[in-house]
Amino acid sequence: MSDQTHAAGTYSGAEEQTSFGFKLRSLFLKHEWLRGYLLLSPTLLVMICLMCVPLFMLVAYSFWTQNYLDIDKTFTLANYEAYFQKPIYAALMFKSIRMSLYCTFATLLLAYPMAYFIAFKVTKNKLIWLILITVPFWTSYLLRVFAWKVILGFNGVINSGLISLGIISDPLEFLLYNPTAVVLTLAHAWAAFAILPIYVSLEKIDRSLLEAATDLGDTPKERFWRVTWPLSLPGVIAAGLLVFIPTVGDYVTPKLVGGTTGIMIGNIVQSQFGKANNWPMGAALSVISMLMITILVVTFIVATTRARAKN
């Protein structure tokens, strides 16, 4: 920044024009993209140092072993072998993916009509509706999950409420500490994440296409399935990925409301860094999770783009 003000004063000096600073300056003036990258570089540097480097380190760790407190840095596949030898790991991985898929599906199903409502039906005060659905998303994730523990608990809101209303006499035990509680809580916690991408894709739809469909004799139902739904698919897919990817590795929700049957891969990863104290194994489990997620996501994207190209 400041070298531009500085260089502005040096135009007159002929000998200055050959200096390195001048060359650099004219290079930046000539190429717009260089200036853009210069502006972007601090952010990129932060992302590389705080995300890429640590993730590479994590991958490196997964090929090492831990001897009590010391890390043995000789290359080994032992952690990955352990993953395939102990069926509990793979079982947990698939269970996490399955629960995450249920949660994603539930979230999308719930979010779509809401996004549709805001995009097409709300004409006044759209801003208020948008703010109302985005605000919970910014507020503490921990507390939103904790709220469900309070609600579903043995002596929680639902049980005590139903008992004091005289509907049941003993607390329902199936509410908390099971996979269903985890899926429900996750679907609630990630709801706002799903609405926005769907809303944006619906909002973008050219309204004259809808009019054309109606003019050509489509009923509202046909119009929805033949025009609106296909055009909103990119938003639905984006929303699905935004919910699916982070929920697979979630730690807080299964820990608070999952009990023993509701634990997910994130809890096992955490225990390797806590009680089990086997960092390399934890690293290997994270790398495998990331790989599984990536493979699933890429397959899904390729499949949907193929299917769309076919139509």
Site for other proteins in 115-174 (CB under 8 A): 116-118, 120-121, 123-124, 126-127, 129-136, 138-144, 146-148, 150-151, 153, 155-157, 159-161, 163-164
Could you tell me the smallest distance in angstroms from the CB atom of residue 306 to other proteins? 21
310 binds other proteins (CB under 8 A): no
53 binds other proteins (CB under 8 A): yes
Residue 249 CB contacts under 8 Å (≥ 6 apart), including other chains: 96, 264, 265, 266, 269, 286, 289, 293
Could you tell me the smallest distance in angstroms from the CB atom of residue 149 to other proteins? 8
Rounded CA-CA distance 52/310 in Å is 37
Could you tell me the smallest distance in angstroms from the CB atom of residue 121 to other proteins? 5
Could you tell me the smallest distance in angstroms from the CB atom of residue 40 to other proteins? 4
| Among positions 35, 98, 226, 308, the unique one binding other proteins when judged by CB under 8 A | 35
Residue 178 or residue 284: which is nearer to other proteins going by CB? 284
| Among positions 250, 254, 263, 288, the unique one binding other proteins when judged by CB under 8 A | 250
Rounded CA-CA distance 290/281 in Å is 14
Rounded CA-CA distance 37/81 in Å is 43
Query: Are β-strands 70-72 and 65-67 bridged in parallel, bridged antiparallel, or unpaired?
Result: antiparallel
Could you tell me the smallest distance in angstroms from the CB atom of residue 92 to other proteins? 14
Residue 264 or residue 310: which is nearer to other proteins going by CB? 264
36 binds other proteins (CB under 8 A): yes
Rounded CA-CA distance 285/137 in Å is 29
Residue 90 or residue 116: which is nearer to other proteins going by CB? 116
C-alpha to C-alpha distances, 114 to 125, 129, 189, 264, nearest whole angstrom: 15, 10, 16, 29
Query: Kind and range of the H or E element at 70?
Result: strand 70-72
Asked whether the CA dihedral 129, 135, 137, 138 is positive or negative, the reply is positive
| Among positions 241, 259, 292, 300, the unique one binding other proteins when judged by CB under 8 A | 241
For other proteins, the binding residues in 262-281 under the rule CB under 8 A are 266, 269-270, 273, 279
Residue 93 or residue 210: which is nearer to other proteins going by CB? 210
Distance of CA 213 to the CA centre of its chain: 35
Distance of CA 61 to the CA centre of its chain: 24
For other proteins, the binding residues in 91-110 under the rule CB under 8 A are 110
**Contact (Cβ atoms closer than 8 angstroms) between residue 44 and residue 263:** no
